[in-house]
A = this chain, B = another copy of it.
Amino acid sequence: MKVGVFGSGTVGQTIAAKVAELGHEVMVGTRDTGKLADWLGATRGKVQAGSPAATAAHGEILFNATNGGGSLEALALAGEANLNGKILIDISNPLDFSRGMPPTLSVSNTDSLGEQIQRAYPRVRVVKTLNTITASLMVNPRQLADGDHHVFISGNDADAKAKVVDVLTNWFGWRHVLDLGDIATARGTEMYLPIWLRMWGALGTGIFNVKIVK
């Protein structure tokens, strides 16, 4: 499958490398492809880089792995016509580092970045997920307790969510995916970041997650 990944930071590189390893044709979208030369070389040509627009046109499934503060701008560069009709797996969090550490959220409580993206691109099938764990766990949940912990999904399109559950389980190895409901439930997973950041501090590692016990 052709997959596009917006964002070339740790999350974007981790997702792209894993998806390429599975044999898919991956393009990473960034405004400065030159800075990725070393990393692209290390992938032995399995991943290519392109502009946001080229990446959106390339991908049958798209990942938004940009920093939350730059997500809407990156998607604008990708172009609505290139995005329409596609599944956009939104991993971004609206972290605001301008007040120091730990970051606050630039949108929360009565709205979310997931909803902002869905409103800006009503014909894109936005599914929020993977934003509650650190990058290496996203694509390798079995490294922790043999995968006995949870990831959440939020989105308005049931068919898109079913396809994303397939990606999570069959590509990445997730065992437990909890569907929280429509894209407005992204408020829940984005507002989880403040406790995630404090757990990270208290635990001394980002390699952790929560298991729902009921």
Contact = CB atoms under 8 A, between A and B. Distances in A.
Interface of A: 99, 104-105, 108-110, 144-145, 148-149, 152, 178-181, 185, 187-189, 191-192, 194-199, 201-203, 205, 207-214
A211 B213 contact: yes
B109 A144 contact: no
Contact of A191 (B185, B192, B214): B192
Contacts of A108: 108-109, 191
Assembly stoichiometry (copies): 2
Contacts of A202: 178-181
Contacts of A99: 110
Nearest to A111: B104
A188 B195 contact: yes
Contacts of A196: 188
Given A144-B213, A188-B194, A178 B149 contact: no
A41 to B, nearest CB: 34
Contact of A208 (B109, B194, B213): B213
A104 B209 CA distance: 25
B197 A188 contact: yes
A32 to B, nearest CB: 32
Contact of A104 (B110, B194, B195, B210): B110
A186 B189 CA distance: 17
A63 B194 CA distance: 25
A208 B180 CA distance: 15
B213 A198 contact: no
